[in-house]
Amino acid sequence: MSVDNISRILFECDPMNINCVTNTDEYDPEARDIMKLKPDIHSIEALQAGVVDVFQYWFGKDLEITDVQYEEIATKIWEEWNPENQG
């Protein structure tokens, strides 16, 4: 798992609706911050909380991102961080 992989997941999920097809690096700063969390993340719940923190840091606390969207992002990242745990 790399920053590029996380950025790709964020771009595909596009919780901020900034995907303009060609701006694939738009979520790179958030992806870098999420990647920094990896050594301290031991559960998908902790990862989801970390993703929330990162987005609130970058975009403010009054976001219109739903828990379902955060869960989708965290699940996709978690699956790539832990491929051995997939069904």
The model's pLDDT over 2-28, given as tens digits with 9 standing for 90+, comes to 899 999 999 999 888 887 677 777 899
Q: What is the pTM of this model?
A: 0.86
Q: Which domains does the chain have, with CATH numbers?
A: 3-85 (1.10.340)
Which residue from 82, 8, 84, 86 is spatially nearest to 46, judged by alpha carbons?
Answer: 82
Rounded to an integer, the average pLDDT of 43-64 is 93
- Residue 73 has a CB neighbour count (10 Å cut-off) of 26
Cα separation, 77 vs 45, whole angstroms: 12
Determine what percent of the chain is predicted with pLDDT higher than 90: 61
